[in-house]
Structure 1
Amino acid sequence: MARPTSLEIVSELVANVLTIEVAEGDRVEAGDTVVLLESMKMEIPMLAERGGTVTAIKVTVGDVVQDGDVLVVLD
């Protein structure tokens, strides 16, 4: 479970993980793409809602994610 100050970036739909744009330890800013999803031949960027440091990546390229699945955790 994420710490209270952590932010979990979650999938908003059923999709395939196309690319992971960050690595653990990377610093991201609000609006940065952290994961690129693909659904019905459309690419959907999952964006950081705020700045922070990537503390965990919960998916791998090729995974099928469901609505609400945690993709990346920021601290």
Structure 2
Amino acid sequence: MAEVKASMAGNVWKLMVSEGDSVDASQDVVILESMKMEIPIAAEVSGTVKELKVKEEDFVNEGDVIAVVE
């Protein structure tokens, strides 16, 4: 199991995957918006998205868990 975490604080602009989707390592899971910049957050491992911990328009802090990949 691996957790995908926010690399910085920002708003969840767009979810790129859904629960149950297969992802590859380095595949974007979510795009954050911070200071008018779009910051892609990628999975570090390949696997299946078991849980999304955020929804679009949520605010996250650096280090918050965005998704769980198994």
TM-score, normalization: structure 1? 0.91
Cα distance in 2 between the residues matched to 1:38 and 1:18: 6
Unaligned runs of 5+ in 2: none
> RMSD of aligned C-alpha atoms?
0.5
Sequence identity percentage: 47
Unaligned runs of 5+ in 1: 1-5
Query: Between Structure 1 and Structure 2, whose CA radius of gyration is higher?
Result: 1
**1:38 alignment partner in structure 2:** 33
CA deviations on 1:30-70 (whole Å, 9 max, x unpaired) are 11100000000100000011101000000010001001110
TM-score, normalization: structure 2? 0.97
Q: How many residues align?
A: 70
